[in-house]
Amino acid sequence: MKQMTMETLQVELGDRSYPIYIGAGLLKVSSYFTDAIRRKQVMIVTNETIAPLYLAQLEASLEGFQVDKTILEDGEQFKNLDSLNNIFDHLLTQKHNRTTTLIALGGGVIGDMTGFAAACYQRGVDFIQVPTTLLSQVDSSVGGKTGVNHPQGKNMIGAFYQPRAVVIDTDTLKTLPAAEVSAGLAEVIKYGLIYDQAFFSWLEENIDLIKELDAAAITHAIKRSCEIKAEVVAADETEQGLRAILNLGHTFGHAIEAYTHYKEWLHGEAVAVGMLMAADLSRRMGRLNEQDCERITKLISRADLPVRPPVSMTKGDFIRYMAIDKKVLDGQLRLVLLESLGRADVTADFPADMLQETLALFTTH
Amino acid sequence: MKQMTMETLQVELGDRSYPIYIGAGLLKVSSYFTDAIRRKQVMIVTNETIAPLYLAQLEASLEGFQVDKTILEDGEQFKNLDSLNNIFDHLLTQKHNRTTTLIALGGGVIGDMTGFAAACYQRGVDFIQVPTTLLSQVDSSVGGKTGVNHPQGKNMIGAFYQPRAVVIDTDTLKTLPAAEVSAGLAEVIKYGLIYDQAFFSWLEENIDLIKELDAAAITHAIKRSCEIKAEVVAADETEQGLRAILNLGHTFGHAIEAYTHYKEWLHGEAVAVGMLMAADLSRRMGRLNEQDCERITKLISRADLPVRPPVSMTKGDFIRYMAIDKKVLDGQLRLVLLESLGRADVTADFPADMLQETLALFTTH
């Protein structure tokens, strides 16, 4: 076997600590899985898109175990209690006991559902995350959020539950649509913006290699992203303070996603534009210099991400979807803004007219 | 208001510690609830049997809060994901946020489901237990087990999740069928048998007062039961060792429940007979003297509990439902046996012929 790029990151959570392995070809290496599996039973949960691509590889690495599979339909619309019950049905039919291990093979939807199934099955069994999208690799690997959607709201039903290990095979990105790689890069860039100017500079230098999925470059980008998320989450387990900076660009982004009915725009694309809007407001407030603001726009653009909202979206649409009028009146509109390139905070203290100017700049009518 | 009998027991679990309040008329005292409710939103979950009896009392104690209700059908067959979803629907329709408090008003089924709903709603909200059956008062108040059934197995889906408070109003036992009071007493007697000879003696002296639901006697019986369960659980959070003694009589009892299709016999009735069978085997092994064995039979009988399995149930039925042949062969049949009156342990080390003699004594063919 040729020399592999492989990095390990230990997420420190006391007796719930776990390793994240990152590198090319890891799916083919048994030990990453077998080290984390307690007994003989394994249930792989994946979807119809991922199964033909990577299920056989993973199964080959699990020789000698009782390996059962639950293959769900692909899509956010299947992230619900019915799919969860489908996993439980398979577990019970195949007589999985409390020492079983669930393996989530897929993107964020599969990871969230499998983690929640593991949290609930017989009041908690082990699970291993194998995220196959860049977004899930840099987002769901850390934080322990699991759950499903309810018709009346996303992620309304769930649990905080940590995996035994996360195995990130960067080769799985080779089959990911380019737009989804870019959407994942939006979150990677976010980590630089909110926490690490040097990482942001490194991204500027390596964005082309990353887009080519160069193993060393993408491995570092993922590792540093997970590290930053782990540091931010560890500093704020209760999700009251610092952790909120992980939402840079999300308030503006959610307005774009809502306006496009969560269909046309990928989450990361909306966040990319949202980050530019937050940067623009930060610049107007004198927190960010013009040059850094331009660097951000340029990097996002080079990552093949949009830099403007949908052309048809008006200032009024933003005000409506962000409920700005009401929230500004109540002093409840809190935004994540940049203090400088590499530092962010959450504040309700910004001039309303500057917010209006930012909205005006990013819309045409 | 007349002088009330009220006892408080603090269950010590670090930052998840909570009080159990026990006494007559507590449903009518606002402060037990309001002290444990963080904000303004409350969702009471109860069933169609309990609602007409106690819902108005509880609502009167929650004046000034946003009180919403989910009223489920009564019965173990409704302890499933559909009922759980029904709770989520109500929470979302009434716009309950992460600071809401769920209140479980009912027996074990309501308590298990409501606790699990609280564990999952928005990844965890507060809940208060108001157990209205003797069994749930002495069993579900401590241990943090929540969950629902799956068609293929009981309690297969759930979580460990602690309440903010448990409010036990002993007046609710006045509307409980006598057979269910007795079934709860089986568990109360169990706590004496496995852990506290003095409590067993106290039960012998006070069994008639308890059956009359004398407030002071029933309050003490519940409090001491909860104390013992809390001590046993605290000594063994991982459920590997000591905690298993809580299952005294359950292996024999489960055979009776399975034989009667979980319909004709109440769980506590089956456990009562199971405890007598465990006591008989303990006596044959020289662990328990004949006199203590007779005291146990007498107390169970005075609690209006059965002392024999169903007349039609044979030794072969027990062997089949307990899977004794296979388990004894594999050395896997572990039973909770008495070391003496007030002490129990779990062991696979008992003579197979003595087990056969016990089965023969309790069956007629």
Is the pLDDT at A53 greater than 50? The verdict is yes
Residue A85: list chain B partners with CB under 8 A: 81
A145 is catalytic: yes
A365 Cα to chain B: minimum distance (Å): 34
Q: Which residue in A92, A123, A145 is closest to B150 by CB distance?
A: A92
B145 touches chain A (CB under 8 A): yes
pLDDT at A327: 64
Query: Is B247 marked active-site?
Result: yes
- What pLDDT score was predicted for residue A316? 93
Does the pLDDT value for residue B324 go beyond 80?
no
**CA distances from residue B73 to B33, B109, B115, B269 in whole angstroms, order as listed:** 25, 11, 17, 24
3-state secondary structure A311-351: CCCCHHHHHHHCCHHHHHHCCCCCEEEEEECCEEEEECCCC
Residue B269's DSSP bridge partners are none
The structure tokens listed for A122 are 């017989």
**Beta-carbon contacts of residue A336 (< 8 Å; ≥ 6 apart):** A194, A244, A245, A247, A248, A249, A250, A251, A278, A344, A345, A346
The reply to whether residue B159 touches residue A81, judged by beta carbons under 8 angstroms, is: no
Any catalytic annotation for residue B123?
A: yes
- Report which residue type is found at A120: C
What mean pLDDT is reported for chain A? 93
Residue from B353, B318, B347 nearest B333 by CA:
B347
- B4-13 b/e (C-beta count within 10 Å ≥ 16 → b): ebbbebebee
- Tens of pLDDT, residue by residue over A154-195, are 899 999 999 999 999 999 999 999 999 999 999 999 999 999
**Chain B residues with CB inside 8 Å of A156's CB?**
88, 92, 121-122
Q: Is A123's Cβ below 8 Å from some Cβ in B?
A: yes
Quote the mean pLDDT of chain B: 93
Active site residue A223: no
**Residue B263: active-site member:** no
Mean pLDDT of B37-66: 96
Catalytic residue at A205?
no
| pLDDT tens-digit readout, A93-152 | 999 999 999 999 999 999 999 999 999 999 999 999 999 999 999 999 999 999 999 988
Q: Report H helices in chain B.
A: 30-34, 56-60, 81-93, 108-120, 134-139, 178-195, 197-211, 215-234, 250-259, 267-284, 290-302, 315-321, 324-329, 352-362
pLDDT tens digits, one per residue of B200-255? 999 999 999 999 999 999 999 999 999 999 999 888 765 667 888 999 999 999 99
pLDDT interval class at B327 (50, 70, 90): low
Residue B7 has pLDDT above 90, yes or no: yes
Residue A121 with chain B: CB contacts under 8 Å: 156-157
Is it the case that residue A324 has pLDDT exceeding 80?
no
Q: For A339-350, how does the pLDDT look when each residue is reduced to its tens digit (9 = 90+)?
A: 999 999 999 899
Contact residues, chain A, for B81 at CB < 8 Å: 81, 85
Q: What is the pLDDT of residue B333?
A: 85
8 A C-beta contact, residue B304 and residue B178: yes
Domains and their CATH numbers in chain A: 6-175 (3.40.50.1970), 178-362 (1.20.1090.10)
Nearest CA of chain A to the CA of B83: how many Å? 12
Rounded percentage of chain A residues whose pLDDT exceeds 70? 96
Residue A4 confidence (pLDDT): 66
Using CB atoms within 10 Å of the CB of residue A182, give its burial: 0 to 12 exposed, 13 to 18 middle, 19+ buried.
buried
- For residue A224, pLDDT over 80 is answered with yes
Beta-bridge partner residues of B126 = B101
pLDDT of residue A242: 84
Tell me, yes or no, if B231 is annotated catalytic.
no
Closest to A35 measured CA to CA, from A62, A15, A60: A62
Phi/psi at A315 (nearest 5 deg)? -55, -40
Per-residue confidence band for A153, with pLDDT thresholds at 50, 70 and 90: confident
Residue A175 annotated in ligand binding: yes
Which pLDDT belongs to residue B323? Answer: 78
Catalytic residue among B250, B283, B284, B287: B250
Q: For chain B, give the percent of residues with pLDDT over 70.
A: 96
State residue B1's pLDDT score.
43
Q: How many CB atoms lie within 10 A of CB B263?
A: 8
- Mean per-residue pLDDT, B254-281: 94
Chain-chain contact of A121 with B157 (C-beta, under 8 angstroms): yes
Task: Flag whether B153 is marked binding.
Answer: no
- Cβ distance of B159 and A124 shorter than 8 Å: yes
| Side chain identity, residue A78 | F
In this structure, are strands A165-169 and B18-23 parallel, antiparallel, or unpaired?
Answer: unpaired
A149 among known catalytic residues: no
Question: What is the nearest CA distance from A8 to chain B, expressed in angstroms?
Answer: 29
Catalytic residue, candidates A86, A96, A247, A284: A247
B 40-99 residues with CB < 8 A to A: 81, 85, 88-89, 92-93
Chain A partners within 8 Å of B161 (Cβ): none
Min CA distance, B82 vs chain A (Å)?
9
Rounded to 10°, the helix B290-302/B267-284 angle is 170
pLDDT number for residue A241 = 74
Is pLDDT of A1 > 50? no
Confidence of residue A21 (pLDDT cuts 50, 70, 90): very high
Q: Of these residues, A190, A220, A224, A254, which one is catalytic?
A: A254
Band (B330; pLDDT cuts 50, 70, 90): low
CA atoms within 13 A on the CB side of B99: 7
Partner-chain contact A158 B81, CB within 8 Å: no
R_g of chain A computed on alpha carbons: 21
Residue A2 has pLDDT above 60, yes or no: no
Better-scored residue on pLDDT, A240 or A30: A30
- Asked if the model's pLDDT at residue B309 lies above 60, the reply is yes
Give A121's DSSP letter. B
- Rounded distance between C-alpha atoms, residue B240 and residue B243, angstroms: 7
